[in-house]
Structure 1
């Protein structure tokens, strides 16, 4: 296994609105969300409540992290390239982020790199912001405040696909499709996470979906790096 693969940890997060409804927010946050919603509203019939349920999860100021899944390649005893995955998830965001930080602190911040799809604009800054909100000191690997996207040392598969075209957005699902990687969206997709969490109360389902995204992400990274597998990707989930 080449050195680059040894140093990459693949990552995906799932986020939801901070509360189960707009009306559950305190009055200050209601006012501030209403102000933001006025810029998000595309149709006059959209209410602050509808926009909150649909969009709040993507903003770290109005959302929270409920799941972080990671994966890392290693070679088993037979030399087979295997992706080992692990999920950090729960209702207590501070406990979840603290556990994740402890794991990152054990890595080599000067060598190991994170990889996410659109990670430099979403996953990495979102994690940093929510850690600070929860009073958690940033791990060295995520101490990226003040850095421009191209100065952040981590990998971003969307950036790798852009080839310098900074106006170009391509979803993980689209790239998985054109590279013939099995979809992670066969049960739910990101737009359904809020409903599955607050209405169906099925966090395990969200965790499984997030783990599948990590598998897709890792396979996409191999494709973008021109690394061919001799067999189907072997995945080992940590207990």
Structure 2
């Protein structure tokens, strides 16, 4: 990673346009509550959820209502239902996308296997809001499922520039830590086709539990990966990628 930084005022500054794009693994996950409804939670989980979220709710929202709204995005009470990844295909120059889905432990084990490939020796993970959501969520669910997180998720003892993570939200902030921008808005700003033309994240749990349409969710997740890769390309003033079918 050090080869992709320059020294400025004794600080290491990343030069994203010099990172070999073939080393970047673009990633998106879809998550839902572990248990579909509050009433189906065991009493211990209900108590711990109430305790964990009390400050966030400020007694204005009932714990049961807040569970429906937020459980899927908290790794302690949610689960991963699919992980979509994309990497540049060296032959075609297009984005090759693959999705892992099914029972959570099985999809996580299959996902971890990709890091045994020699190509992954210098891999860099990229996601939108990945540092706050996707990367820690995956690592936590791996541990909960009794799986050792692979090396790109191992952060203990590493210096910031040694951590192989890119985050398009962080790149957009330019140091403005109070700022939030959605993938959909960045897509609009950069002229990238929107991934939200069918569903959005707020609909995933309902589609999963009430409709059982995992294929629709996978399609949505894969569109996010293509959009993510193209936003990163636009940040480097590069042409849009096409998906390798």
**Structure 1 length-normalised TM:** 0.88
Residue of structure 1 in register with 2:243 after alignment: 235
Query: Aligned with 2:20: secondary structure?
Result: helix
Report matched runs for 1:36-75 at 5 Å. 36-41=52-57, 44=60, 46-75=61-90
Helix, strand or coil at the partner of 1:169: coil
Which residue is 1:86 aligned to? 98
2:31 corresponds to 1:15:
yes
- 2:173 maps to 162
Unaligned runs of 5+ in 2: 1-17
Deviation per residue, 1:147-195 (Å, 9 max, x gap): 5766532111111111122222111111001111111111110011111
Conservation of the 8 A alpha-carbon contact between 1:120 and 1:152: no
Would the aligned equivalents of 1:109 and 1:140 in 2 still touch at CA under 8 Å?
no
Please identify, of 181-190 and 143-152, the stretch whose mean Cα deviation from structure 2 is larger.
143-152
Is residue 42 of structure 2 the alignment partner of residue 26 of structure 1?
yes
Cα distance in 1, alignment partners of residues 110 and 138 from structure 2: 13
What is the aligned length?
228
Supply the RMSD in Å over aligned alpha carbons. Answer: 2.0
2:14 maps to: none
Please identify, of 153-162 and 58-67, the stretch whose mean Cα deviation from structure 2 is larger. 153-162
- Please state whether the residue corresponding to 2:85 is helix, strand or coil: strand
Unaligned runs of 5+ in 1: none
- Give the SS at the match of 1:81: coil
- 1:29 is displaced (CA, Å) by 1.1
Following the alignment from structure 2 to structure 1, what is the Cα–Cα distance between the partners of residues 56 and 157?
26
- Corresponding residue number in structure 2 for 1:203: 214
TM-score normalised over the length of structure 2: 0.86
Q: Aligned match of 1:177 in 143, 165, 188?
A: 188
Name the SS of the counterpart of 1:95 in structure 2.
helix
Tell which deviates more after alignment, 144-153 or 26-35.
144-153
Partner of 1:141: 152
For residues 180-226 of structure 1, the C-alpha deviation after alignment (integer angstroms, 9 at most, x for no partner) is 11111111100111111111111111100000000100100101112
Verify the 8 A CA contact 2:25 2:87 in the aligned structure 1: yes
Distance in 2 (CA, whole Å) between partners of 1:103 and 1:142 is: 13
Change (3 A) 1:105 1:191: same
